[in-house]
Amino acid sequence: MKVGLWRIAHARSGDKADRADIGLFAYDAPTYEVLKREVTRERLAAHFADICQGTVEIWPLDNLLAVKIVLNAALQGGAARSLRMDSLGKAVAARLLRMEIEAPADLPRLSHPSARPRESGDPGPSKERTGFPLSRE
């Protein structure tokens, strides 16, 4: 089934000159195997076609259940000359979490409360959903 990465993984991005870099992290080992298989350079290049003018590099890290991703020539030459609102590429990881991949329907993480599909008008995280009191509560 098609699954948005946001349901099964977390991610952070940053900048080094003209390079945007992303760490993509599975919450568990079965999900990591799916990420390694599905998050390919070709799919990333297509997903980031509007910003990435260079090559895409990836390194899987078994010890961290993580995939390191680098988008070369993706920040309009770098933050100090970028015209974009996201000059530092901080939201590039959010863009990645919007990517859809093929995942088995019985992937354990998919039954986690935070992985529940969000419909239009969904109120987002809540105490009931996260099983935690929230910072705002």
Partner 1 sequence: MKSVRIGAGLGFYGDSWRPVRASIESGGVKYIASDHLAELTLAILQKDRQKDPNAGYARDCVPMLIELWPLAAGRGVKFVMNAGGLNPHGAREAVARAFREKGYKATIAVITGDSISDRIDDLQVRGETLAHMDTGADIGSVRERLLFANAYLGAAPIAEALAQGADIVITGRVADAALSLGPIMHELNWRWDDWEKLAQGLTVGHLLECSGQASGGNFGSAGEWAKVQNFLHLGYPIAEVSEDGSALLTKAPGTGGRVSFDTLRQQLLYEVHNPHAYFSPDVVLDMGTLHFDDKGDDRVRITGAGGAKRPDTLKVVAGYHDGWMGLGQIGFSWPDAYLKCETSANIIKGLIEERGWALDDINIEYMGYNALLGANADASQRDSLNECFLRMTVRTKDKRIAEGFSRLFPWLGLSGPPYAGGLRGSERSRELLGLWPTLVRREAIEPGVAIDVEAVA
Site residues (vs partner 1, CB under 8 A): 6-7, 10-19, 21, 23, 25, 27, 47, 49-51, 57, 59, 61-66, 68, 70, 72, 76-81, 83-86, 90-91, 93-95, 97-99, 113-115, 124-125, 129-130, 132-136
Nearer to partner 1, 10 or 36 (CB): 10
Residue type, 125: P
Phi-psi region of 30 (alpha: psi -120 to 50; beta: other; left: phi over 0): alpha
Identify any residues that bridge with 66 across adjacent strands, giving them in sequence order: 25, 61
How far is 7 from 27, CA to CA, in rounded Å?
10
Nearer to partner 1, 28 or 102 (CB): 28
Q: Output the smallest distance, CB 106 to partner 1, in A.
A: 21
Q: Output the smallest distance, CB 82 to partner 1, in A.
A: 8
Token pair of 73, please? Answer: 């020539």
How far is 136 from 8, CA to CA, in rounded Å?
24
Q: Output the smallest distance, CB 52 to partner 1, in A.
A: 11
Residue with tokens 């760490």: 23
Nearer to partner 1, 40 or 55 (CB): 55
Q: Output the smallest distance, CB 30 to partner 1, in A.
A: 17
How far is 86 from 76, CA to CA, in rounded Å?
11
Nearer to partner 1, 1 or 46 (CB): 46
